[in-house]
Amino acid sequence: MPTATTIRPALPTDLPAVGRLGALLVKTHHDFDSQRFIAPMPGTPQGYANYLGTQLKEERVIVLVAEREGAVVGYVYAGLEGMDYMALRGPAGAIYDVVVDPTARRQGVGRQLLDKAVENLKEKGAPQIVLSTAAKNDEAQRLFAKAGFRATMIEMTLSL
């Protein structure tokens, strides 16, 4: 039987675990397409932790962690954005990262993080929520589709 998962706001003490998961996100995307996504480096976990640490007190930002038995097994990073003429959309919530430790995948953790982020963005007044996912990340795309998201954009890259 899976262990209970708690979704809660991230704390500064969670940042090393969040940084490790952020580095996993970087590696996963780089493995999908090394020409498009940056490569993980030795300082990536600390850099990711430092960046997300700056976001914890931002009013328009949400950083939540999934915790099991005292260990962080996932996180979601999201925020409110205003009108964006580049993206041709009005104000929206945006989900930037959803990451689950490989040991906790396929147990509903990603969906719990996603649902809580959607709930928080709705409470903050987001009229819609957007997110992006790597073209080769079929598992994430299935998760997002099951949660009601639909495909609206396709990014294309030309490597020079």
Q: Summarize pLDDT for 98-107 with one digit per residue, the tens.
A: 999 999 999 9
Residue 51's CB: how many other CB atoms inside 10 A? 14
- Return d(Cα 54, Cα 152) in angstroms, integer: 30
- Return d(Cα 82, Cα 22) in angstroms, integer: 25
0.85 exceeded by pTM: yes
Helix axes 44-55, 15-32, angle to 10 degrees: 120
* Residue whose pair of structure tokens reads 């959309």 in the numeric block: 89
Q: Summarize pLDDT for 41-81 with one digit per residue, the tens.
A: 999 999 999 999 999 999 999 999 999 999 999 999 999 99
- Return d(Cα 62, Cα 64) in angstroms, integer: 6
- Return d(Cα 130, Cα 87) in angstroms, integer: 10
Residue 42's CB: how many other CB atoms inside 10 A? 8
Q: Summarize pLDDT for 5-41 with one digit per residue, the tens.
A: 999 999 999 999 999 999 999 999 999 999 999 999 9
- Return d(Cα 16, Cα 12) in angstroms, integer: 9
